[in-house]
Amino acid sequence: QQQVKQSPQSLIVQKGGISIINCAYENTAFDYFPWYQQFPGKGPALLIAIRPDVSEKKEGRFTISFNKSAKQFSLHIMDSQPGDSATYFCAANDFGNEKLTFGTGTRLTIIP
Amino acid sequence: KAGVTQTPRYLIKTRGQQVTLSCSPISGHRSVSWYQQTPGQGLQFLFEYFSETQRNKGNFPGRFSGRQFSNSRSEMNVSTLELGDSALYLCATQDGTSREQFFGPGTRLTVL
């Protein structure tokens, strides 16, 4: 019940397009959903996070959409740029339990 | 504020040896978590420390242990190394107010 399922495994998007990565969770106790970006040889960097009391959160070109009833959340990257090429991880945890449960990652490639 | 620092960045060990990795958190962060990242298993939670006490533990054998000092710095130790322990070991520290977790650059451990 701790699983977080992430799709797609890899994604190729043209420069200027919209990149969409989806995650689904099972544990209804989860109440914090961050997204991380990881470049080769680096640690994951926190991009944006959402709590289930809102359905959408936007920071610059990055937007999280959250559907509590479907237990799904997604990351949208608008106007995708080559510098966005990285691996993206969704994650979740519940209050009082600092263990983050991660999705399996999406390797995003932005082509010119 | 300085970020999360991890030392050493790279380690090469042989089977049967033991290793100690170190993590210095962001100033003011009292929670330190450790994760193992491998291509096959992704990001997996090892354990979390808060105020020198282990609060959470993942599903790893007893060869993996950790501790936290009074200044919140943390170490993890792996004894009797196995080939399968080759991985990127990541430390994350948490802002107690926002619940945001910030990762260090990791220690790349190679077991030969």
pLDDT tens, position by position, A5-38: 999 999 999 999 999 999 999 999 999 999 999 9
- A98–B102 CB contact, under 8 Å: no
Name the band, by pLDDT with cuts 50, 70 and 90, for residue B99.
Answer: confident
- A45–B42 CB contact, under 8 Å: no
Alpha-carbon gap: A81 to the closest alpha carbon of chain B (Å): 23
Best residue of A4, A53, A98 to probe chain B, by most B CBs closer than 10 Å: A98
Q: DSSP labels for B21-65? A: EEEEPPTT--EEEEEEEETTTEEEEEEEEETTEEEEE-S--TTEE
More confident residue, A1 or A97: A97
pLDDT tens, position by position, A68-94: 999 999 999 999 999 999 999 999 998
pLDDT tens, position by position, B27-75: 999 999 999 999 989 999 999 999 999 999 999 999 999 999 999 999 9
User: Any residues with CB less than 8 A from the CB of B50 and at least 6 apart, and which?
Assistant: A98, B30, B31, B32, B68
